[in-house]
Structure 1
Amino acid sequence: MAILQQLEKLYLPRQKAIKKEEVFTMKKIVLFIILAVIVSPCFAASTWTEQTNYSVGANGFHDVFFLDSSTGFVCGSGTKILKTTDGGKTWTEKLTGDAANVLSGIYFPTAQKGYAIGYVGGSGAGLFYTTNNSGETWTVGTAPGTENLQDLMFTSADEGWVCAQGLEALNNVYYTQNGGIGGTGWTAVTVAANPETISFFGTYFLDFSNGWVVGALGSIYKTSNAGTDWTRQGADVTGQQLNDIFFIDSSKGWIVGDVGTILKTTNGGIGGTGWTAIFGISNEFYLRKVHFVSASVGWAVGYQNSDTPQPLILSTTNGGDTWTEVTTTLTTYFNSVYFPDQYSGYVVGGQTSGWINAPVIYKYQTDPTVTAKSPSARYQGWSGNITLTGTNFISGITVEVTKTGGSGVTASITRDSATQVTVAAVISATATTGDWTVKVYNIDGGTATTTFTINAPPTFTSVTRYHPTYGSVSWESQGTFNRLVTVEGTNFQTGAILTFTGGVTASATSLVSSTKVTANTWVPLAETTGYKSVTITNPDAGSATLANFYEVRADSGGPTFVTYEVTGAVVESSSIKLTAFPQIKVTLEDTTGLSIDTLNFSVYVPYPPAGADSYYYKFTNPTFTVLSTGSRVTKAQVTGYLKTFKNFADPTIAEVPIDGILTASSPKAMYFYAEDDGSTPSSTLYSSSVYFQSAGPAPISGTSNVALVGGGGTVKPGASQDIQFESKKDLTGKVVKIIYGGMNGFMANHDVPVRKVGGVFARAVEAASGTYIYKVEAKATDLFNHGLAVGIYRIAGFVDGEMLFNTKYVVIP
């Protein structure tokens, strides 16, 4: 009975006498947790640390409350109230009084207005204190009743509730609507009808009208009308003393008490199953306080009433369904717990074994983290903001930007939120280049680091392109397309971009070295002549400009488009429809000479604005047919198949089939472009409105989409010629029966294996229309393998009795 007697003498908050029959012995469960790092969704790289930066003598702490991650309060015996404004790094005493008196609870409904309650040592009469200046000074007020006040909860600056451990036949619950001022500041309410006398140790209110009180004999009472009526909840769940209650919202709540009691509700405690007991908690655990930071993560504290009593901390990460014990080397029993956020929390205690007063403040701390930064690099002479994204940035955070042996950087920091800070940096023009360390300091001592790179800005000396006659020049003609230019200077970076004034566009910038980059340019036909300024910009925003350096000259000379022809084109009223991947045949004329070796023949589709998301296709192996006479080629026909387009802004990405660019819903202008000496380009507008719409699959019979490959449609007796045709069917491994017919009737019957055509064009056709391209070898021989006589024949091919093609076949001498 020694423990019981000392408890009664000390009037410990939320603690009733422990009867011998209530103490259940069992093997102590030791759950080993490495305190240095607790791995959970919220508690990565976190530590528990005892704080010793205060002096209160032999006075224990009974409650803790924080306004935010920086400012908080503890209260306890000796009428003590301590305050911190730096996350527990330092504590300052704000109230002290009679050594026998105990402050058992503290609460701040606003940043300025706060309340503390307790009791007078020996008599058990209540104590009540108020502050209106954020706890800097405290004023004693009139306590309700004559009871030992245990817990409080305020829902506004002036409206609140307290509950008490009864020494008389009272129900021990009071409320105020004026902050407890004056003799009429408190109103007693009847929770349960007399003669039942219940001590209440915990209270929680969602608002002034809706709340709960919990206490002795498993008592849980709820009111929905500001205490006029009370309904008992969970009457059959437990008969143990209940010491505290906490709700994260109107539905989810938890209660803790003696003999391993933890209760949970997900419906506000309504109904016979509104509160459920959590099993697996040791009967030796006596829990005094519970606090949750989310619907999943919470903490409960108290002590373990074993042969050698020990302090107790339990944590949960699944809404209180299971709990884990956090072991500690401390010996002081814990009375209260409070987490201002998911990254930091405080546990306070007041007695050691034998119930000897011994204060303790135990802090849970998660260091801040930096998970992202923007920008990550800038250049000498830059000033601006660096945004750091991460976790656990608390009020009062500071920053330090350093580099060993470095100079030229100053910085300040602004906390935007717990997950973002802004570092205002000023980098001098002579600042040391390289990686700098950016270190942020929380006021509670937690730190996080990242790096920031300072580069030398680029310098710009020239922009040139190659001219076959004049060599390196810094001018271009109107209408030039896909021209390679070279930029020279210093401090260029991968990802640098080149821009021109006016409508000149550069793309595909490539870093050759830190002193050289290359890019492709396009000068629109309508671009104004004159000098253009050129700017190169690195990814770190460092840039250099050559003002009025690159000249655009008028278009002159160059090849002339005489005629052009596009297969599969249907001329409509205001547009041109391409029904198949076209063959483009142009006739060019240039009195200065044409050569297949220097001719650049392309098709391009400019999107407005000029140069943005433009597409082109450069024919790499066009057919070149000379049409002029004499030693100098002045007129020629150039033929190529248009299959796909390249993206001008990024030619490295995959080519796009033409029907992905020229669509019926969005027809585009299409140009033909030619230059024959690298300096005098020409272009002609094929149409301002071109789109692609397939004519459909190749017919089973007839002559559409059938071509004789090689020989121009003629063959000599006994020789072979490939027949190319299209089909929607997969003919892989099939044999085609080729039948020849002439003036004398049936001439031959050959079984020939079919060959599927590969290559970019065939794959593009297959992807666009699901049509395959095949070839078969047609040999000009009769049934006896003799060469066919000279003449015109009809040739047809069949697979499984179905005709695949039917075309003309000419045998020549």
Structure 2
Amino acid sequence: MTATAQSNDMQPQAADIAVLAQHSLLTDIVNINGQQIVAVGERGHILLSQDGQNWLQSPVPVQANLNGVYFIDKQHGWAVGHDASILATQDGGASWQLQHYAPETDKPLFDVYFADSNSGIAVGAYGLFYRTEDGGETWQKEFHPEVLSEDDQAYLEEMKETDPDMYEVEQGAILPHFNRLFADGNVLYMVGEAGFAAKSIDNGTSWIRLEPFYNGSLFDITRTPQMALLAVGLRGHAFLSHDQGQSWQQITLNETATLNSAFSDDNGRLYLVGNAGTLLVSNDDGVSFTNVSLADGKAIVNGLLWRDELLLVTETGIKSIKQSELK
């Protein structure tokens, strides 16, 4: 392959407008002020709906799989995904602009969060971490060794002094995957690979690693309706903390499928969703769960309650369940 051809192959290609986009793999979904829903997924698909039933695909300038979406208000939002892609909208998702695209990194971004319209971070595989202070006009890459063990930090410092080239290589591989961000007031939590969990009190400028409580990957962290912290991950593992993450207790679940996300609604219900159609519902803040998993066995990646319906994003698109059916 010539250098020119290689360069052309690295250029972003606009996502195809697909008739069946709402039935393709979707990975994240957000409710914008109760007025609109935005869902993102594979091949650059971004879908909008105002009723949870009818969906319109937005034109998107990249075909990368998208993993996370976040809106700071009803107009301004960001989506992130593979090829270190970061997209932004200023019109509620009707159109999107590509702010960052780095396929040469060969690393996906998994989540994005903005504290205000200017200050945001995007995180992903192998500790990939970008920050903006100008609404995404520019993004700066950051490296956060403070989340490593003391031994790994010492190893990196020695490598920096003795083998600078290898140090650069290790920077791109030694950190765990950063899978999900959760903003809890002024505290930011992050979970990821191999039991990684950390918190920040300065919008992600520095991180404090939480004491390990599980050696498998964690895919989400959130607050329960009664304000406990909840973390979920591989093989049906779920954990509650009632002391701001200082200690954790495992929830006993009769489920072994990986849990992808956890969320709650305004009615005090707590939901866990995961692979193999897993859908667990709790009415007692996570003490016990009712299994209402989907019979089709398709992975559920995330969801939210929209009016009287539970909207789920799955490997086969949008699925809706009447709240009355969950009782």
* TM-score (norm. length: structure 2): 0.54
User: Do the aligned partners of residues 221 and 80 (structure 1) sit closer, same or farther apart at CA in structure 2, a change above 3 Å counting?
Assistant: closer
Q: Structure 1, residues 419-463: CA drift from partner, whole Å, max 9, x if none?
A: xxxxxxxxxxxxxxxxxxxxxxxxxxxxxxxxxxxxxxxxxxxxx
For residue 129 of structure 1, report the CA deviation from its aligned partner: 5.9
Q: Is 1:189 aligned to 2:143, yes or no?
A: no
Measured after TM superposition, the shift of residue 250 of structure 1 is 9.7
Paired position in structure 2 for 1:64: 69
Residue in 1 aligned with 2:82? Answer: 77
Instruction: Please give the secondary structure, in 2, of the residue aligned with 1:189.
Output: helix
| Contact 1:216/1:240 (8 A) holds in 2 | yes
Q: 1:215 to 1:129 in 2, by over 3 A?
A: closer
Cα offset for 1:102? Answer: 3.1
Q: Which has the higher helix share?
A: 2
Q: 1:515-539: per-residue Cα shift (whole Å, max 9, x none)?
A: xxxxxxxxxxxxxxxxxxxxxxxxx
How far the C-alpha of 1:320 sits from its partner, in A, is 2.6
Whether the 8 Å contact between 1:243 and 1:287 is mirrored in structure 2 is yes
Where does residue 267 of structure 1 map in the other structure? Answer: 243
Give 1:286 shift.
1.3
Aligned-pair CA distance for 1:240: 2.6
Deviation at 1:366, TM superposition (A): 8.8
Q: CA deviation at 1:144?
A: 1.3
1:232 corresponds in structure 2 to 211
For these two proteins, the number of residue pairs brought into alignment is: 244
C-alpha RMSD of matched pairs (Å)? 4.6
Q: Show CA shifts across 1:458-504 (max 9, x none).
A: xxxxxxxxxxxxxxxxxxxxxxxxxxxxxxxxxxxxxxxxxxxxxxx
Residue type of the alignment partner of 2:65: G
Q: What is the match of residue 272 of structure 2?
A: 300
Instruction: Please show how residues 176-575 of structure 1 align to structure 2 within 5 Å.
Output: 188-195=145-152, 199=176, 201=178, 202-204=180-182, 206=184, 212-220=189-197, 230=209, 232=211, 235=213, 238-247=214-223, 251-270=227-246, 274-283=247-256, 285-293=257-265, 296-304=268-276, 312-321=278-287, 322-327=289-294, 333-337=299-303, 348=313, 362=318
Matches within 5 A, 1:722-737: none
**2:229, 2:267 → 1: CA distance?**
9
Gaps of 5+ in 2: 1-50, 154-173
| Larger gyration radius, structure 1 or structure 2 | 1
1:399-433 alpha-carbon deviations (Å, 9 max, x no partner)? xxxxxxxxxxxxxxxxxxxxxxxxxxxxxxxxxxx
Which digits, 9 at most, give the CA deviation of each residue in 1:715-761, with x for residues without a partner? xxxxxxxxxxxxxxxxxxxxxxxxxxxxxxxxxxxxxxxxxxxxxxx
Tell me the SS of whatever aligns to 2:140: coil
Higher relative contact order (CA 8 A, sep 6+): 2
CA distance in 2 between counterparts of 1:300 and 1:254 reads 10
In 1, Cα distance between equivalents of 2:200 and 2:58: 41
- Distance between the aligned counterparts of 2:74 and 2:260, measured in 1? 23
Please state how far the C-alpha of 1:261 moved relative to its aligned partner.
0.9
1:141 aligns with: 139
Q: Which has the higher strand share?
A: 1
Contact kept, 8 Å, 1:115 with 1:131, in 2: the verdict is no
Q: Deviations over 1:536-578 (max 9, x none)?
A: xxxxxxxxxxxxxxxxxxxxxxxxxxxxxxxxxxxxxxxxxxx
* Corresponding residue SS for 2:96: strand
CA distance in 2, matches of 1:91, 1:326: 33
Q: Is the contact between residue 302 and residue 312 of structure 2 (CA under 8 Å) also seen in structure 1?
A: yes
- SS for the counterpart of 1:116 is strand
Q: Distance in 2 between matches of 1:344 and 1:73?
A: 25
Structure 2 counterpart of 1:298, one-letter code: L
Contact in 1 for aligned 2:262/2:302 (Cα 8 Å): yes
Give the Cα–Cα distance (whole angstroms) in 2 for the partners of residues 73 and 224 of structure 1.
Answer: 22
Using the TM superposition, give the Cα deviation of residue 62 of structure 1 relative to its aligned residue in structure 2, in angstroms.
Answer: 0.6
Q: State the AA in 1 paired with 2:115.
A: P
Residues 327 and 362 (structure 1), Cα distance of their counterparts in 2 relative to 1, 3 Å cut: same
Q: Distance in 2 between matches of 1:117 and 1:140?
A: 15
Once the two structures are TM-superposed, the CA of residue 91 in structure 1 deviates from its matched residue by 4.0
Distance in 2, matches of 1:293 and 1:303, equals: 21
Pair 1:239–1:126, CA change in 2 (3 A): closer
How far apart are 1:194 and its partner, in Å?
A: 1.2
The amino acid across from 2:284 in the alignment is N
Match for residue 102 of structure 1 among 99, 108, 114? 108
* Alignment of structure 1 residues 588-599 onto 2, 5 Å: none
Counterpart of 2:318, as a letter, is Y
State percent identity of aligned pairs: 14
